[in-house]
Amino acid sequence: MCGIFAYESSTPPDPELLVEAAVSASVRGPHGYGWVTRSPDSAHHELGPVDPGKVRELTAAVVLGHARLATVGDWQDVAQLQPITAAGHALAHNGVVHNSAALGSHADTDSMLLAHLYATLRAAGHTPPDALTRLTKAASQQAWAIVVLDADGHLYAHRRYHPLYRHREADGVYLSSQPITPSGQLIPEDRPVLVQ
């Protein structure tokens, strides 16, 4: 299973809490990792487990990260690392889509397909929560966690069975696939959540 980590606030994250979220996500995804921020040129992807030193240097007020466990494709292909960007949106996904062929054939992985489908739904005028709901209904998955950094600058999450914890701290909100603080709570299942 892959791992997801994220942060949203109006100020930079606590470096140690962000590292904790990223490293805990890496336990679920040792093959590669990446992140994006609101900056258009912020995408960073690298093979191997999360490098805490690089995460510690992140100072953006919004971060979406992913640690990959390759279930589809070559685990050494950096192009398949997440988050996936499409039309100004970024998506990190944990799970397997069983009907990828029915949803389209223009993507190398199911996560790439989901990112493009989300961007298409947003371009058609759907709100982020509605786009996430439609996305999860269209994709045949038994379990998932999806976090989107929408072009509007906010994080949105949706999950079923796969864990995704929200940690509200003084400086902002952290998300992680594993609990990182005693105050962490699973986000609700089967509905889109604005991360705040």
For residue 172, give its domain range. Answer: 3-194
Instruction: Copy the structure tokens of residue 18.
Output: 């962000």
The domain total for the chain is 1
- Cα distance between residue 32 and residue 50, in whole Å: 7
- Cα distance between residue 136 and residue 138, in whole Å: 5
CB 94 within 8 A of CB 82: no
CATH of the domain at 32: 3.60.20.10
CB 154 within 8 A of CB 194: yes
Half-sphere exposure of 27 (CA within 13 A, CB side): 10
- Cα distance between residue 87 and residue 194, in whole Å: 20
H or E segment and range at residue 120: helix 110-123
* pLDDT at 101 exceeding the cut of 80: no
Whole-number average pLDDT of the chain = 89
Q: What is the structure's pLDDT at 167?
A: 94
pLDDT tens digits, one per residue of 117-169:
999 999 999 999 999 999 999 888 888 899 999 999 999 999 999 999 999 99
Residue 127 DSSP code: -
Q: What is the structure's pLDDT at 196?
A: 84
Q: How many residues does the chain have?
A: 196
pLDDT tens digits, one per residue of 25-63:
888 778 889 999 987 678 899 998 899 999 999 999 999
